[in-house]
Amino acid sequence: MRTNIIFNEISFRNPRGDIFGGITAAVIALPMALAFGVASGAGAEAGLYGAILVGLFAALFGGSPTLISEPTGPMTVVFTAVIAKLIVSDPVNGTAMAFTVVVMAGLFQILFGIMRLGKYVTLMPYTVVSGFMSGIGVILIILQIGPLLGQASPGGGVIATLNNLPELLAGVRVQETVLALLTVAILFFVPARLKRYLPPQLLALVVVTLASIAVLGSADIRRIGEISTTLPELRMPVFSVEQWQIMLLDAVVLGMLGCIDALLTSVVADSLTRTQHNSDKELIGQGIGNVMSGLFGGLPGAGATMGTVVNIQAGGRTALSGLVRAGILLVVVLWAANLTAVIPLAVLAGIALKVGIDIIDWDFLKRAHRLSGKGAIITYGVIALTVFVDLIVAVGIGLFVANIMTVTRLSELQADDVKAVTNPRETDLVLTPDERKILSAAAGRVLLLHLRGAMIFGTSRVISRKNSEVEGIMTLIVDVTDVVYLGVSAALAIEAAILDMIDAGRSVYVVAGPGQPRRRLEIMGVLQLIPQHNVVEDRLTAMEHSVYRDRSPVQATVAPTNGMCSVG
């Protein structure tokens, strides 16, 4: 069976590879789901439910066949802040409201997919993406300080954890800290050859758990405890009139982060499988997965790079692998949950710590200052804002500053694409011999304003400056034949230049072939400001008319009846 109109690409042409891929992805997902569930404060079962539900529905309805979706580090960090904030504001309904935010985030993702915004989601400067992802990694690391020291997380996020650091250090439980460090050591130093056959997370989970039982025995070690072996119950959405604005904003942030996380991972999957995913369909699948996860008390999820890569490397090629993975995790919840009860929380803290370290974009951060000083400032600024202020503030300010810097740089570069020519001997613009002869004969009375490339809003100031640089001009020739795109701001600048010449009683010609620039000028009514025979498709023709037809000092007048400029 293969269908990809409504459902994802599900096929039985590669059963062996898809089954092995699904099994391998499930093995990777189990320790990660438990770790993220505990780290979020919602409990280990919330992590498992999220891994099953998001993975199942994203595999069924998504647009990337090999993508594995589950709770991820970035999504967990944001959800941790959401659940902590809402519990403080409403201790009774805070948890239910947090899962309602997950449902709302999923609905936003579905809306983004229906609106076909998939191709725009990842159009963010890398400096900003690197900054907020690295900031999320730093947050995840800081939030594990308490569990690594054998104590419950203080709650309240990064600031609260740092404020309580002296108390955490004073109350350190050495046994649990040793277990956490042993977990981290296994994750870092397991041989690469062994990683091919056994995921380091599962190895650390099993080895350190068995060591805690064998060596520490009945010592007072904080463990996961019993997990319900029944199917999750439906949780009806709970709204708060006082908190609806906060919930809505958190849902947008969570939904957007999930979109970015999923689509970036889809690109990784495409590069490994030489295929092309459907971005809009993937957003719909992710949204359905998060809606279902929120309704049944699961963590929010997105495309997981680690699970996706191991799925592909193990042979997964269609969404069947994602369905197999979800089925295996469901079996664990229903029949093997008792085995997870003895897992020390310190082990999960160690796993989460390693995830935080891996999320940080070390490769870019090490050379950001060498690549671009301004880009490095943006990246480090976004990291600081993400960690100490708020993710949406960090992304918003980062995007604003990055875009302003980009537009400024493009405007500087495009200044060379706007040329004002009166003397053919003083320009590098390529002119024909006839054009040079005519401009020489005009003796500085004709200004050729030649535009080239994409004229975005940053070039409007350049156009205005070039037009005002030369005095004594009797004829303006605006040449847009080499313009591939004419923005509204640039078109308005051209209109202002034309109106200045008309008000001064001088001639104006526009050289424009068929295409977007001419259509833009026609729609805006700019070409209607001058006589239609002054709109030509050839620059030489405009020059000849400006010198030989508009004799005397190349004048134009404005007809009082219709406001149109006519050659006298």
Min mean pLDDT across 40-54, 283-297, 379-393 is at 379-393
The per-residue pLDDT for 470 is: 55
Tokens representing 16 are: 């062996």
Which CATH number characterizes residue 479's domain? 3.30.750.24
Residue 466 has pLDDT above 80, yes or no: no
| Rounded Cα–Cα distance for residues 214 and 63 (Å) | 46
Quick: pLDDT tens for 5-21: 678 778 888 889 999 99
Q: Are 207 and 354 contained in the same domain?
A: yes
Q: Are 368 and 480 contained in the same domain?
A: no
Beta strands in 360-416 (DSSP E): none
Q: Are 384 and 461 contained in the same domain?
A: no
Q: Give a yes or no: residue 9 inside a domain.
A: no
Quick: pLDDT tens for 346-390: 999 999 999 999 989 999 999 988 888 888 999 999 999 999 988
Last residue of a domain, one of 372, 389, 406: 389
Partner residues linked to 566 by β-bridges: 557
Q: Give a yes or no: residue 405 inside a domain.
A: no
Mean pLDDT of 37-60: 93
Q: Give a yes or no: residue 2 inside a domain.
A: no
Q: Give a yes or no: residue 190 inside a domain.
A: yes
The per-residue pLDDT for 553 is: 39
Q: Are 385 and 420 contained in the same domain?
A: no
Q: Are 276 and 422 contained in the same domain?
A: no
Q: Tell me the pLDDT band of 75, cut-offs 50, 70 and 90.
A: very high
Q: Are 374 and 422 contained in the same domain?
A: no
Range of the domain at 270: 16-389
Residue 467's Cα: distance from chain center in Å?
A: 40
What is the total count of domains within the chain? 2
Q: Give a yes or no: residue 410 inside a domain.
A: no
Q: Are 214 and 333 contained in the same domain?
A: yes
Q: Are 83 and 190 contained in the same domain?
A: yes
Tokens representing 549 are: 């037809």
The upper half-sphere exposure of residue 39, i.e. CA atoms within 13 Å in the direction of its Cβ, equals 35
Q: Give a yes or no: residue 3 inside a domain.
A: no
Q: Tell me the pLDDT band of 240, cut-offs 50, 70 and 90.
A: confident
Q: Are 378 and 230 contained in the same domain?
A: yes
Q: Is 366 exposed, middle or buried (0-12, 13-18, 19+ CB in 10 A)?
A: exposed
The per-residue pLDDT for 189 is: 92
Going from the C-alpha of 43 to that of each of 184, 326, 345, the distances in angstroms are 21, 19, 11
Tokens representing 239 are: 């709204």
The upper half-sphere exposure of residue 485, i.e. CA atoms within 13 Å in the direction of its Cβ, equals 6
Tokens representing 184 are: 């981290």
pTM of the model: 0.78
Q: Give a yes or no: residue 108 inside a domain.
A: yes
The per-residue pLDDT for 219 is: 76
Mean pLDDT of the chain: 87
Q: Are 156 and 262 contained in the same domain?
A: yes
Quick: pLDDT tens for 395-415: 889 888 988 888 777 777 777
Q: Are 420 and 328 contained in the same domain?
A: no
Q: Give a yes or no: residue 407 inside a domain.
A: no
Quick: pLDDT tens for 167-177: 999 999 999 99
Tokens representing 238 are: 């709970």
Who's near 287: CB < 8 A, 6+ residues apart? Answer: 106, 107, 108, 109, 110, 111, 112, 113, 255
The per-residue pLDDT for 469 is: 56
Min mean pLDDT across 105-109, 208-212, 229-233, 469-473 is at 469-473
Mean pLDDT of 484-494: 90
Of 390, 361, 435, 449, which Cα lies nearest the Cα of 133?
Answer: 361
Residue 108 has pLDDT above 70, yes or no: yes
Q: Are 374 and 449 contained in the same domain?
A: no
| Rounded Cα–Cα distance for residues 493 and 460 (Å) | 5
CB 379, CB 364: distance < 8 Å: yes
